[in-house]
Amino acid sequence: MSPPSFYFRRGRTVPANVFDRLRALVLSVFLIAAFAVPALAGPFEDAVAKFANDEFSDTDEAIGLIASSGNALAFPIISALQDGRLSADPESKKVFVTQADGKIIDAATGAAVASLPAGASAVRLNNRLRRTVEAALGSLTLLSPDPAKRIAAAQQVFKSHDEAALPVIDGALAKETNKAAKSAFAEARAAILLYKSDASDAEKLESIAIIKARGDQEALALLTGLGSDAPPLVAQAASSAISAIQSNLALWSMVQNAWYGLSLGSVLLLAAIGLAITFGVMGVINMAHGEMVMIGAYTTFVVQEVIRTRYPGLFDYSLLMAVPLAFLVAGALGVVIERSIIRFLYGRPLETLLATWGLSLVLQQAVRTAFGPTNREVGNPSWMSGAFELGQITITYNRLWILCFTLAVFAILLAMLRYTALGLEMRAVTQNRRMAASMGIATSRVDALTFGLGSGIAGIAGVALSQIDNVSPNLGQSYIIDSFMVVVFGGVGNLWGTLVGAFTLGIANKFLEPVAGAVLGKIAILVLIILFIQKRPRGLFALKGRAIEA
C-alpha cells in the first residue's frame, strides 16, 4: 500500500500549486466584490469568518457575536457547530453549514453551495466552547415552537443562570401554556434572580422556595454555589433549603441503592442461571461456563457486524436476532463438550474441574486468535441507551431491560423444567439416574441436552452482558467466580435459590459499596458468604431428602 500512495502524494504537488493560484485568484475576485458592495460585509459576516481561524478563542468570540446578532442564520449556525456540521475553509475564510438533509449553505449569506471546498474541515470545539454553545443555544431555543425544546432550553438557562436571558424568560413565562414548560421557565427565572446582584431579597427568597421545590442535585448545586456573601436573610434561607434537599436526597439514595442492587442482582442471576443447570442440577463443576457467556457475546458482535455492513436499518433489532443465535451456538458447543469430554468424567469432580478449566483456556485463546486480543465494539441499540428520571434517581434503560430480560429467561427456564417432556426427563435423570433409565429415558441423551441447555442460557447471558461489559476474550473470567458464588450461596440444585441468592448478593453488595468502597465491599461479601456456608453448607435453599445423593 505505502509506496504507491507516496508517489501519488509527490505527484500531486504540481497541481496543488495551480490550485493555490486559482484559489488566490478566486479570493481576490471575492475581495474585490466584497469591497465593491460594502453592504454585504457587516459585523455578522465578520463574526462568521472568525470560525475559519481555527483558534478556540476566536470561535468563542464568534459564538457570542452570532448569538446576539438576531440574525435568522444564528440558530442554524450554532446548532451546526454543536453537531460538528459547521466547516470552515482556512484559505478563503468562508464558513459552511451542512444541513441535516445534506444540503450545504454559506454560513454568512445563507446561499446554497454545491460542495465543500477541498481544504474545508469541521470547526473544532473543546469543552469550554461546548458549554458556551449549549448556553447560546439555550437562549436561542427558548422561544421554539416545540415544548420539549423549550424545556431543554429552560433547563440550560437554569444551569447557566445567565442574566441576559431574563427578559426572554419573562416574556416566555407570560404567554406559556404548557404546564411542564411553564414550571421549567419559572425555575430558570428563579435561578437567574437568585444570582442577580440587584434583585431584591424578597425576590431571592421566592426564588429559593422555587428551587427548593425542585429538590434535585442541580438545585443543590445552584444553592451551594451561592456562597456566604449573600445577604444574611437569603443565605439563611438557602442553607435551610440545602439541608431540606439533602435529607430528601438521602432518602432517595436508599431507593437508588436498592435499584442498583436489583440491577446488579439481575446481572449475577443472568450469569449464574446457566451454571445453576450445569452445576446445580447436573453437578458438573464447569469452569468453562464463563467462556460460554463469552461465546454468546461474540455471537452478538458477529450479528451486529453483519447487520452493520449489510442491513444498517435493522440495527435496533440486532439483539433480538442475537438471542436465539447465541443460544444455538453456545448450546451446540455445550453438547459437543458434553459428548466429547464431560461424559467420561461424571462422578469425578476434580478431573472435571481441571478438564473444564483447561477447556476454558483453550476457548479463550481460540477466540483471541480468531477475533484478536482487543475489545470488540458491540453497540447499544437506541432503545437501550440513555436513562430516565424516576423521582430523584436515574434509571438507565440498559439496566432496566437486562432486569426484565433476566426475569423472562428465568421464568421460561422454570416453565420448561416444570411443563415440558424434556424438563421432566431432566428432573428424573438428575434425581435418580438408574430409575430413570429403567423407565426408558435415554439418560445420556438427556445429559447432553441438559448441558447444552445450561450452556445455551449462558450464551444468552452473553448477549445481555455485551451491553454493559467489554467483549473481549477475558469476558467470561470475570463472571465465573460470581456465578459459583451465587449458585453455592443459593443452594445447589435449586433454581429459586439461585434467584434469591443473586438478588440478596446484589443488594447487599450495593448497600455495602457506598459505605465500604468497592474493594472492601467485595471482600466483605466474600467473608459473609464464607461464614454463611459454615453455618449452612448447602446454601439458602437446601434440597431435602435423598435426591442429590444419587
**Residue spans of alpha helices (H) in 215-315:** 217-224, 232-275, 289-310
Contacts of 128 (CB under 8 A, 6+ apart): 56, 60
Q: Of 45 and 216, which CB lies nearer to another protein in the complex structure?
A: 216
322 near another protein, rule: CB under 8 A:
no
Stretch 76-115: interaction string toward another protein, x if CB under 8 A: --------x-------------------------------
Q: Judged by CB under 8 A, which stretch of 15-23, 207-215, 341-349, 385-393 contacts another protein?
A: 385-393
Helix (H, G, I), strand (E, B) or coil at 473: coil
Helix and strand counts by DSSP (H, E) for the chain: 21, 7
Instruction: Give me the least distance between CB of 398 and another protein, in Å please.
Output: 6
Instruction: Indicate which single residue of 267, 322, 429, 464 sits in contact with another protein (rule: CB under 8 A).
Output: 267
Contacts of 262 (CB under 8 A, 6+ apart): 403, 503, 506, 507
Stretch 127-166: interaction string toward another protein, x if CB under 8 A: xx-xx--x--------------------------------
C-alpha separations of 201 from 155, 231, 237 in Å: 24, 8, 11
Q: How many CB atoms lie within 10 A of CB 78?
A: 22
287 near another protein, rule: CB under 8 A:
no
Instruction: Give me the least distance between CB of 204 and another protein, in Å please.
Output: 16
Instruction: Indicate which single residue of 306, 411, 518, 526 sits in contact with another protein (rule: CB under 8 A).
Output: 518
Q: Judged by CB under 8 A, which stretch of 146-154, 207-215, 386-394, 402-410 contacts another protein?
A: 386-394
316 near another protein, rule: CB under 8 A:
no
Instruction: Indicate which single residue of 58, 60, 91, 469 sits in contact with another protein (rule: CB under 8 A).
Output: 469
183 near another protein, rule: CB under 8 A:
no
201-230 burial code (b ≥16 CB/10 A, e <16): eebbbbbbebbbebbbeebbebbeebeeeb
Contacts of 459 (CB under 8 A, 6+ apart): 274, 292, 293, 295, 296, 299, 326, 327, 328, 329, 330, 331
Contact 425/437 with Cβ under 8 angstroms?
A: no
Q: Of 261 and 280, which CB lies nearer to another protein in the complex structure?
A: 261
C-alpha separations of 336 from 94, 201, 435 in Å: 65, 77, 26
Stretch 230-259: interaction string toward another protein, x if CB under 8 A: -------------------x---x--xx--
Please spell the DSSP secondary structure of 490-550, one letter per residue.
H-TT-HHHHHHHHHHHHHHHHHHHHHHHHHHHHHHHHHHHHHHHHH-TT-SSPPPSSGGG-
Instruction: Indicate which single residue of 53, 248, 431, 470 sits in contact with another protein (rule: CB under 8 A).
Output: 470
Q: Of 189 and 399, which CB lies nearer to another protein in the complex structure?
A: 399
Q: Of 106 and 469, which CB lies nearer to another protein in the complex structure?
A: 469
Residues 33-62 binding another protein (CB under 8 A) are 56
Residues 388-407 binding another protein (CB under 8 A) are 394, 396-399
Q: Of 17 and 394, which CB lies nearer to another protein in the complex structure?
A: 394
Between CA 194 and CA 200 the distance in angstroms is 9
- For the CA atoms of the chain, what is the radius of gyration? 32
Q: Of 131 and 343, which CB lies nearer to another protein in the complex structure?
A: 131
C-alpha separations of 86 from 40, 59, 108, 434 in Å: 21, 12, 12, 75
Between CA 366 and CA 58 the distance in angstroms is 53
Instruction: Indicate which single residue of 343, 368, 427, 433 sits in contact with another protein (rule: CB under 8 A).
Output: 368
Between CA 301 and CA 338 the distance in angstroms is 26
Stretch 189-228: interaction string toward another protein, x if CB under 8 A: ----------------------------xx-xxxxxxx--
Q: Of 282 and 475, which CB lies nearer to another protein in the complex structure?
A: 475
Instruction: Give me the least distance between CB of 255 and another protein, in Å please.
Output: 12
**Residue among 132, 131, 139, 134 at smallest CA distance from 68:** 139
**Residue among 393, 389, 394 at smallest CA distance from 250:** 393
Instruction: Indicate which single residue of 373, 439, 442, 445 sits in contact with another protein (rule: CB under 8 A).
Output: 373
Q: Of 432 and 474, which CB lies nearer to another protein in the complex structure?
A: 474
Q: Does an H or E element contain 388, and which? A: strand 387-390
510 near another protein, rule: CB under 8 A:
yes
Q: Under rule CB under 8 A, how many of the chain's residues touch another protein?
A: 65
Up-side HSE of residue 259: CA atoms within 13 Å toward CB?
A: 16
Between CA 383 and CA 401 the distance in angstroms is 9
344 near another protein, rule: CB under 8 A:
no
504 near another protein, rule: CB under 8 A:
no
Up-side HSE of residue 101: CA atoms within 13 Å toward CB?
A: 3
Instruction: Indicate which single residue of 11, 119, 171, 386 sits in contact with another protein (rule: CB under 8 A).
Output: 386
Q: Of 160 and 278, which CB lies nearer to another protein in the complex structure?
A: 160
Q: Of 240 and 365, which CB lies nearer to another protein in the complex structure?
A: 365
Footprint of another protein on this chain (CB under 8 A)?
1-2, 5, 56, 84, 124-128, 130-131, 134, 217-218, 220-226, 249, 253, 256-257, 260, 263-264, 267, 364-365, 368, 372-377, 379-380, 385-387, 394, 396-399, 468-474, 477-478, 510, 513-514, 517-519, 522
